[in-house]
Amino acid sequence: MPDRNLSERAEEILAGIWQRRESEEEHPAPADRAGEAPEEAVGELEEKGLVRETSGQLSLTDEGEKEAAAIVRRERLAERLLVDVLNVGKGVATETACKFEHLLRRGIDDEICTLLGHPKVCPHGSPIPPGECCRAGAQEASRVVSALADLLPGQEGVIAYIRGRRRETVQRMMALGAVPGTPIRLLQKSPSYVFQIEQSHVAVDREIARDIYVRLRGRSTVAPPPPTSWLPRPFWGKRHRRGRGRR
């Protein structure tokens, strides 16, 4: 599909129509973002054959349908990225995501989608239209980037970023050598998380382990068995198995 270089207003109108239809399915009274659509932007959309006007209401053409889905997808992925990874509050996220979405070109959204593990819904619970990558990666369940807390013992990668707004958090990470770009390997996760950076081993609690994001090596989903698997499983270990996270 060619990239359609739509103006920001035009993209907003498309997304608005999509959202209106979504909310009409739930409650009939629409919240209309494309309410006062400026002539110019509507003209642009009509010209490109993305919308048609019937009895004063704008609706999507087949092409428009695809375009709108892509826009909404980018917007909601951006929200997920901001909320999950960058730890931005939900309110701020929506606002930022709207602007952000315009900057995400095709292809990048698939990268983000893969990185986030093909999320199904946005932080507010609205569905994210699936993309190419979601269909292709249906079997490939693991994320490319994951919090250290969600890795399995033995998995390794490179630190992608540190989540955290507080000076102490950032400084603490730096003290531990947990700086983006550094190779890291998770050794164990119960009763505390222990990871290895260079030749040193560091123990941290779950809160800190959740602030360190790791870009995994390769895309393998099969983690090597934990090194101490021959030992009895801890009676409180269940809490920390994978899958409990936010999914």
Q: Is 199 left (phi over 0), alpha (psi -120 to 50) or beta?
A: alpha
Binding site for other proteins (CB under 8 A): 86, 162, 164-172, 174-177, 179-182, 188, 190-192, 194, 197-205, 207-208, 227-228, 231-232, 234-237
Minimum CB separation from other proteins for residue 161, in Å?
A: 9
Minimum CB separation from other proteins for residue 205, in Å?
A: 4
Closer CB to other proteins, 28 or 232, in the complex: 232
The residue written with tokens 């973002």 in the block is 33
Minimum CB separation from other proteins for residue 247, in Å?
A: 24
Q: What is the DSSP letter of 142?
A: S
Three state DSSP letters for 91-132: HHHHHHHHHHHHHCCCCHHHHHHHHCCCCCECCCCCECCCCH
Closer CB to other proteins, 35 or 234, in the complex: 234
Two structure tokens written together for 190: 């119960």
Closer CB to other proteins, 53 or 205, in the complex: 205
Two structure tokens written together for 200: 């040193």
Minimum CB separation from other proteins for residue 227, in Å?
A: 7
Minimum CB separation from other proteins for residue 55, in Å?
A: 47
Two structure tokens written together for 40: 């110019």
Closer CB to other proteins, 105 or 166, in the complex: 166
How many whole angstroms separate alpha carbon 119 and alpha carbon 100?
18
Closer CB to other proteins, 141 or 179, in the complex: 179
How many whole angstroms separate alpha carbon 200 and alpha carbon 106?
41
* Encoded amino acid at 49, one letter: G
